[in-house]
C-alpha cells in the first residue's frame, strides 16, 4: 500500500516539520507548533529535490566502468560518469566487494563511514552499511567522533564514564538558577549549535534556558576568541583569549587557587587521586616553570590580574566550569577536558546543586536535559558482530590510506593500518568534513574501489567509482527518537523518490542478492516489516518501565509524542559519588577522579603524560610560524545548515557573500589588509587555499578568522593537486594531525593561515552543477563523448 500523502510530518536532526506541496508543486515547510524556537534550517528542505544537485540514476566513473580493478584511480573526481541501470550497478558493486575480499580479505574494506546522514531509526545510514558489511564478513571500522574524539578517550580515564554521559552530568538550568553564582564558559555556549541534536529534536528551548540564567543575575564569563557565541541577555564578560590557550588559563587559575590556599582540600583528598602531583607541576617544582597567572597571561593574552581575580571569585561561591566541544577539536585537545575537570575539582563544587562542570556547552541538547534521560531504549536496526578486529581512530583515515601496514598508537594500543582496497561510504561527506582535503584527495587514489550512496552530488560522490542514488528522508517512511530528544516522531513519506533513487536498505538488499546474502541481510523482512519491528521493540521497552505507547498504526499517522512527562528525574552519578564515595565509586582504576592517571603515565607518551599539562602547539599564535601565517583560523559549525547538508538550500544560500561561505574578520585586521565588508578574500597556507566572502566583525579578537564548515568543496582546477577551493571550505587549509598519541582525534581548530583580497576575476562555482554524465551507448560505441 502506498502511503504517499503529499502532506506529512517529518523529523530532522534540527527539528520536526510539516511538509506539503502547494498548488504550484512547491514544497512548503512548517515547523510543528509545539516548537517554541524552531530552527530556520528547515526551510531548506524545500530544495530537497533540487535537480541541480540530486543523483537521479546509478553512476559509474568512466575509467572504472571500462577497467574495474585495473582502472587509473588517480582519475577519480576528474572523469565523467556513465549512467547505468540498477541491475548492472548492483552487479558492479557486488563484484567490487568480492574482488576486494579475495585480494586482501575483509580487513581491506574500510566501512567506518562516519557521518550524520538523516534522522530516522530504520533508515539510519551507518546502521545499514555496518549491518550489510558484517553480513559480508566484516570491515575495518572507525572509532570515536569528529565531535569529541579527544574527550571520548580522556574522560573515561578521569571520570570512569563515557564523555557523552559525562556531558549529561551537569546541573540543570533550574539548579543553576537556584544555586550557582558564576559560570565560566570556555568557548561560549552557542545557541546556533543548539539547533541540532543527533536523531531528532522535538522542540527547541535554548533561549529560554539562557534567559532564565540571565534573569537570575548569575555572573557569566566567556573565555573565547569569539564574543558572540553566547546569548546577549547573559551580558557575559568577554575575555578574548588566543585560540588553543585554554589549558594555560586553567592551569593559571589552579596556580592562584593553590598559592592563595583557596582550593577545596577536603574535596581533592576525598574524591580525587593525584592532586599533589598536579600541584607540583602547576607550582613548577617538576620543570622549574610555575604555571602562574603571569605565565598563563603570556600564553593566552588574558591579563594576569584578570586570571587571579577570576580564581578568587570562583573559589568564594558556587561555580560552574563549562567547556564547548570545539576547544578539544585541536592539538592536545585531551588536555582541555582534563584540565577543566581538574579546575572544577579544585573548586570542590562537583556533585552539589548548580555547580561543578558542564562538558559540551552549547551543543545540541547536551546541557538542557540532563536529568530527563529516556529510561528505555528506542528500537534500532541490529548490526550484528563485526568479524574484523581492525579499526582506526576516525580522523586518521587519510593516514591509513597513505601508509598501509604503518604503525600508530591509540589509547595505549600499538596498532597497524590495514591495506585498504575498497572504501564504502554511506551517510557522510568526508570531502567536506575531513581536515586537509588536498592530502585526503591524494591518498584517496590508493584504494582500488570506492562505493558511495548519496542523495546529492557532493564532492565525496564525485570522488567515487560507483555512486548509488539514495532517497531523502521525505521520500520514505520512518520514525525518529533521538538520544537526548525525549520525543518520538513519525516520519511520513511526503514525496515520491527522486529519479530512480532507492533507500540504503533497498540498495543493500539488491547487492546482497547478487552476493547470495539476501536472506541473511533482510531476514526476510521488507522495510515496512522492519519499521513495525523497531517500533514494537520501542513499545515493549517502554511498557517494561510503565510507559504505554500507542500501536504503530495509530502512531504513524499521529503527532509527535512528548515523552518527558512520562518519566521522572534521575540522580547523577557524580552526586551519588559525592554522597557515598565508597558505596558508589567511579569506574576509574582508583574509584576516584583521576587528576593523575598511572595508566596514562604508563603509556609513556611524550605528548600526553600522567596529569593535565600544557604542551606547545605546532600551529597557534604563540609560535614563530605565526610570523609567516599571522591568523588563527577557527572553523565552527554553521548557523544555516547541518554541516554540509542542504548547502544548496535557501537558508544556506541566503547567507553567502558573493556566492561564497562568509568568513568573519576583525575590522582592525581587515583595515591592515585592505579588506572591506563583502570583499572576496583568499585564505591560504602551505597546504592549500580557499575563497570566501569577508564580513567585518568586532566579535572576533584580532588575528582570528572564523568560517563555518560545510560549504561543498569546489576545486578551481581538479587536476591541480593544490587547487584553489573556490567556495569557502576551511578544510582546504586545516591540519590533518591527531590530537596526541592518546586519542588521535581531529585537530581542525589548530590552524594558521594568511589572508588577502582576491582581485582576480571571480571564478564560477561548479559544485551545484552535476558532473559530466554520459550514456552507456556512447561508451560502448566508443564515441567522442566518452573519450
Ligand atoms: N574544519 C572543520 N571540519 C569539521 C568540523 C569542524 O568544526 N571544523 N566539525 C566536524 C564534526 S564535529 C562533524 S560531526 C563532521 C560532520 O561531517 P558529516 O557528518 O560527514 O557531514 P554531513 O554534511 O552531515 O554529511 C552527511 C551526508 O549524508 C548524506 N545523507 C543524508 N541522508 C542520507 C541517507 O539517508 N543515506 C545516505 N546514503 N546519505 C545520506 C547527506 O547528503 C550528506 O552528504 O564534520 C567535521 N569536520
Ligand atoms: N546549526 C548547527 N548546529 C550544530 C551543528 C551544525 O552543523 N549546525 N553540528 C553539531 C555537531 S556535529 C557538533 S559536534 C556540535 C559542535 O559544537 P562545538 O564544537 O562546541 O561548536 P563550534 O561551533 O565548533 O565552536 C563553539 C565555540 O568554540 C569556540 N572556540 C573554538 N576554538 C576555541 C579555543 O581554542 N578556545 C576557546 N576558548 N574557544 C574556542 C568557537 O569560537 C565557537 O565560538 O554542534 C552541533 N550543532
Ligand atoms: Mo560533530
228-258, pLDDT tens digit by residue?
999 999 999 999 999 999 999 999 999 999 9
Atom 32 in ligand 2: residue holding the nearest Cα:
327
pLDDT exceeds cutoff 50 at 4: no
pLDDT band at 6; cut points 50, 70, 90 = low
Q: How far apart are CA 95 and CA 580, in angstroms?
A: 59
Q: Could you tell me the three cell numbers for 164?
A: 557523552
CA 455 – CA 457 distance, rounded (Å): 7
Task: Give kind and range of the element (H or E) at residue 366.
Answer: none
pLDDT in tens, 490-506: 999 999 999 999 999 99
Asked whether the beta carbons of 729 and 722 are under 8 A apart, the reply is no
**Start-to-end C-alpha separation, the chain:** 45
C-alpha span between 379 and 482 (Å, rounded): 11
pLDDT in tens, 330-345: 999 999 999 999 999 9
Task: Report the chain's mean pLDDT, rounded to a whole number.
Answer: 96
Residues with Cβ within 8 Å of residue 413, at least 6 apart in sequence:
none
pLDDT at 384 over 70: yes
Name the band, by pLDDT with cuts 50, 70 and 90, for residue 373.
confident
Which residue is closest in CA terms to ligand 1's atom 30? 117
Give the integer Cα–Cα distance in Å for 637 and 632. Answer: 16
Q: Report the pLDDT averaged over residues 440-444.
A: 98
Rounded to whole angstroms, the Cα distance separating 173 from 230 reads: 16
How is residue 153 written as a grid cell? 578517550
List residues near ligand 2 (CB under 6 A).
147, 186-188, 190, 192-193, 195-196, 223-226, 229, 241, 243-244, 246, 324-327, 329-330, 362-364, 634, 636-639, 642-643, 749
Q: Which of 153, 681, 592 is nearest to 394 (CA)?
A: 153
Give the pLDDT confidence of 576-612 residue by residue, as tens digits.
999 999 999 999 999 999 999 999 999 999 999 999 9
Tell me how far the alpha carbon of residue 540 is from its chain's centroid. 32
Mean pLDDT, residues 561-572: 92
The three three-digit cell numbers of residue 345, written as one number: 575539582
- Judged by DSSP in three states, 632 sits in strand
* Nearest ligand to residue 14 Cα: 2
Identify which ligand lies nearest to the alpha carbon of 197: 2
Which strands, in side-by-side order, build the sheet including 27-31? 7-12, 15-21, 27-31
pTM > 0.95: yes or no: yes
Average pLDDT over residues 565-575: 92
> pLDDT, tens digit, for every residue of 110-160?
999 999 999 999 999 999 999 999 999 999 999 999 999 999 999 999 999
> Pocket of ligand 1, candidates 428, 435, 470: which has the most ligand atoms within 8 Å of its Cβ, to mutate?
428
Helix (H) or strand (E) segment spanning residue 7: strand 7-12
- Dump pLDDT digits (tens) for 410-420: 999 999 999 99
Rg of the chain on CA atoms, in Å: 26
Report the alpha-carbon distance of residue 399 to residue 434 in Å, rounded: 12
> What pLDDT digit, counting tens, does each position of 696-721 carry?
999 999 999 999 999 999 999 999 99
Tell how far the Cα of 434 is from the centroid of ligand 1, in angstroms: 10
Residues 6+ apart with CB under 8 A from 555: 479, 488, 490, 535, 549, 561
* Separation CA 53–CA 409 (nearest Å): 40
Exposure pattern of 454-489 as b/e (b: 16+ CB <10 Å)?
bbbbbbbbbbbbbbbbbbbbbbbbbbbbbbbbbbbb
Task: Name, in order, each residue with C-beta under 8 angstroms of 671's C-beta and a sequence gap of 6 or more.
Answer: none
HSE-up of residue 585 (Cα within 13 Å, Cβ side): 11
Closest CA relative to residue 656, chosen from 748, 768, 772, 769: 768
And the C-alpha cell for 135?
553480513
202 lines ligand 1 (CB under 6 A): no
Separation of alpha carbons 471 and 48, rounded Å: 10
Residue 292 has pLDDT above 90, yes or no: yes
Kind and range of the H or E run holding 215: helix 206-215
The answer for residues whose C-beta is within 8 angstroms of residue 551's C-beta and 6 or more apart is: 539
Measure 433 CA to ligand 3 centroid, in angstroms.
10
pLDDT at 259: 98
CA distance 407 to 640: 40
Which residues share a beta bridge with 518? none
Report pLDDT digits (tens) over 54-63.
999 999 999 9
Range list of β-strands (E), 156-231: 182-186, 219-223
Alpha-carbon distance of 371 to 260, in angstroms, equals: 36
Helix (H, G, I), strand (E, B) or coil at 467: strand
Average pLDDT rounded to a whole number, residues 377-402: 97
Overall average pLDDT of the 36-53 stretch: 97
pLDDT given at position 1: 35
Q: How many CA atoms lie within 13 A of 81 on its CB side?
A: 24
Q: Which ranges in 216-273 belong to alpha helices (H)? A: 246-259, 265-271
pLDDT at position 368 over 90:
no
> Which of 57, 63, 67 lies closest to 87 in space, CA to CA?
57
Least distant ligand from the CA of 196: 2
Chain segment 719-761, per-residue pLDDT in tens:
999 999 999 999 999 999 999 999 999 999 999 999 999 999 9
Q: Which residues fall within 8 angstroms of residue 502, CB to CB, at 6 or more apart? A: 86, 468, 469, 470, 471, 510
The reported pLDDT for the residue numbered 783 is: 60
Mutating to test ligand 1, I would choose from 117, 633, 663 the residue with most ligand atoms within 8 A of its C-beta, which is: 117
Q: Which residues lie below 8 Å from residue 498, measured CB to CB, with a gap of 6+?
A: 49, 54, 56, 455, 469, 471, 472, 475
Among protein residues, the one whose CA lies closest to atom 26 of ligand 2:
326
- The pLDDT score that the predictor gives to residue 365 is 84
φ and ψ at residue 16, rounded to 5 degrees: -100, 140
Amino acid at each position: 500500500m502506498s502511503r504517499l500523502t503529499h502532506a506529512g510530518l517529518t523529523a530532522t536532526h534540527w527539528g520536526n516539520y510539516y511538509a506539503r506541496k502547494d498548488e504550484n508543486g512547491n514544497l512548503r515547510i512548517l515547523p510543528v507548533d509545539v516548537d517554541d524556537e524552531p530552527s530556520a534550517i528547515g526551510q531548506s528542505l524545500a530544495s530537497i529535490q533540487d535537480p541541480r544537485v540530486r543523483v537521479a540514476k546509478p553512476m559509474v566513473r568512466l575509467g572504472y566502468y571500462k577497467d574495474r580493478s585495473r582502472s587509473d584511480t588517480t582519475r577519480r573526481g576528474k572523469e565523467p560518469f556513465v549512467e547505468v541501470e540498477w541491475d548492472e550497478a548492483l552487479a558492479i558493486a557486488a563484484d567490487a566487494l568480492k574482488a576486494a575480499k579475495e585480494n586482501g580479505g575483509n580487513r581491506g574494506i574500510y566501512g567506518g563511514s562516519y557521518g550524520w546522514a538523516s534522522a530516522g531509526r530504520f533508515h539510519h545510514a551507518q546502521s545499514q552499511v555496518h549491518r550489510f558489511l558484517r553480513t559480508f564478513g566484516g570491515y575495518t571500522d572507525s572509532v570515536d567522533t569528529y565531535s569529541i574524539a579527544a574527550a571520548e578517550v580522556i574522560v573515561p580515564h578521569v571520570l570512569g564514564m563515557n564523555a557523552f554521559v559525562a556531558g549529561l552530568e551537569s546541573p540543570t538550568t533550574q539548579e543553576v538558577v537556584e544555586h550557582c553564582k558564576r559560570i565560566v564558559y570556555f568557548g561560549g555556549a552557542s545557541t546556533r549549535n543548539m539547533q541540532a541534536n543527533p536523531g531528532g529534536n522535538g522542540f527547541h528551548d535554548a533561549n529560554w534556558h539562557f534567559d532564565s540564567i540571565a534573569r537570575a543575575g548569575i555572573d557569566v564569563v566567556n573565555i573565547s576568541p569569539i564574543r558572540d557565541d553566547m546569548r546577549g541577555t547573559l551580558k557575559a564578560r568577554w575575555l578574548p583569549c588566543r585560540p588553543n590557550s585554554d589549558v594555560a588559563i586553567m592551569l593559571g587559575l589552579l596556580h592562584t587557587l593553590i598559592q592563595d590556599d583557596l582550593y577545596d582540600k577536603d574535596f581533592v583528598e576525598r574524591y580525587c587521586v593525584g592532586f599533589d602531583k598536579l600541584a607540583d607541576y602547576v607550582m613548577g617544582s617538576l620543570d622549574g616553570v610555575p604555571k602562574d597567572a603571569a605565565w598563563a597571561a603570556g600564553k593566552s593574552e588574558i591579563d594576569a590580574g584578570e586570571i587571579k581575580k577570576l580564581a578568587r571569585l570562583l573559589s568564594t561561591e558556587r561555580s560552574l566550569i563549562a567547556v564547548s566541544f570545539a576547544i578539544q577539536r585541536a592539538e592536545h585537545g585531551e588536555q582541555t577536558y582534563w584540565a577543566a575537570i581538574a579546575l572544577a575539582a579544585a573548586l570542590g563544587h562537583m556533585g552539589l546543586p548548580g555547580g561543578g562542570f558542564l562538558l559540551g556547552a552549547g551543543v545540541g541538547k547536551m546541557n538542557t536535559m540532563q536529568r530527563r534521560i529516556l529510561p528505555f531504549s528506542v528500537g534500532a536496526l541490529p548490526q550484528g558482530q563485526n568479524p574484523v578486529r581492525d579499526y582506526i581512530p576516525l580522523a586518521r583515515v587519510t593516514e591509513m590510506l597513505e601508509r598501509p601496514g604503518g604503525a600508530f598508537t591509540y589509547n595505549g594500543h600499538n596498532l597497524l593500518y590495514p591495506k585498504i582496497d575498497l572504501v564504502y561510504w554511506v551517510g557522510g561527506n568526508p570531502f567536506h568534513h575531513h581536515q586537509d582535503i588536498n592530502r585526503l584527495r591524494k591518498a584517496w587514489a590508493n584504494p582500488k574501489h570506492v562505493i558511495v550512496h548519496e542523495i546529492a552530488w557532493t564532492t565525496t560522490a564525485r570522488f567515487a567509482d560507483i555512486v548509488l542514488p539514495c532517497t531523502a528522508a521525505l521520500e520514505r517512511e520512518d520514525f525518529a527518537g533521538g538520544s537526548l530528544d525525549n520525543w518520538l516522531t513519525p516520519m511520513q513519506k511526503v514525496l515520491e523518490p527522486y529519479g530512480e533513487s532507492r533507500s540504503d536498505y533497498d540498495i543493500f538488499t539488491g547487492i546482497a542478492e547478487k552476493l547470495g546474502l539476501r536472506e541473511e541481510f533482510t531476514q526476510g523482512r521488507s522495510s515496512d516489516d522492519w519499521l513495525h519491528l523497531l517500533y514494537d521493540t520501542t513499545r515493549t521497552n517502554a511498557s517494561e518501565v510503565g510507559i504505554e505507547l500507542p500501536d504503530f498504526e495509530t502512531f504513524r499517522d499521529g503527532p509527535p509524542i512528548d515523552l518527558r512527562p512520562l518519566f521522572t528525574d534521575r540522580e547523577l552519578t557524580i552526586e551519588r559519588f559525592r554522597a557515598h564515595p565508597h558505596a558508589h565509586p567511579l569506574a576509574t582504576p582508583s574509584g576516584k577522579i583521576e587528576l593523575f592517571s598511572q595508566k596514562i603515565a604508563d603509556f609513556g607518551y611524550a605528548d600526553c603524560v600522567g596529569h593535565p599539562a600544557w604542551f606547545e602547539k605546532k600551529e597557534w599564535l604563540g609560535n614563530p610560524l605565526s610570523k609567516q601565517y599571522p591568523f588563527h583560523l577557527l572553523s565552527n559549525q554553521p548557523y544555516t545548515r547541518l554541516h554540509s547538508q542542504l548547502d544548496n538550500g535557501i537558508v544556506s544560500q541566503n547567507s553567502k557573500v558573493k556566492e561564497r561561505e562568509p568568513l568573519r574578520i576583525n575590522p582592525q585586521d581587515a583595515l591592515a589588509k585592505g579588506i572591506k565588508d563583502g570583499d572576496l578574500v583568499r585564505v591560504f597556507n602551505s597546504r592549500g587555499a580557499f575563497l570566501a566572502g569577508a564580513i567585518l566583525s568586532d566579535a572576533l579578537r584580532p588575528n582570528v578568522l572564523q568560517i563555518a564548515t560545510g560549504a561543498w568543496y569546489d576545486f578551481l582546477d581538479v587536476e591541480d593537486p593544490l587547487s584553489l577551493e573556490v567556495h569557502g571550505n576551511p578544510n582546504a587549509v586545516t591540519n590533518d594531525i591527531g590530537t596526541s598519541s592518546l586519542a588521535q582525534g581531529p585537530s581542525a581548530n589548530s590552524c594558521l593561515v594568511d589572508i588577502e583580497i582576491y582581485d582576480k576575476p571571480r571564478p564560477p562555482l561548479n559544485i551545484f552543477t552535476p558532473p559530466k554524465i554520459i550514456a552507456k551507448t556512447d561508451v560502448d560505441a566508443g564515441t567522442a563523448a566518452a573519450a
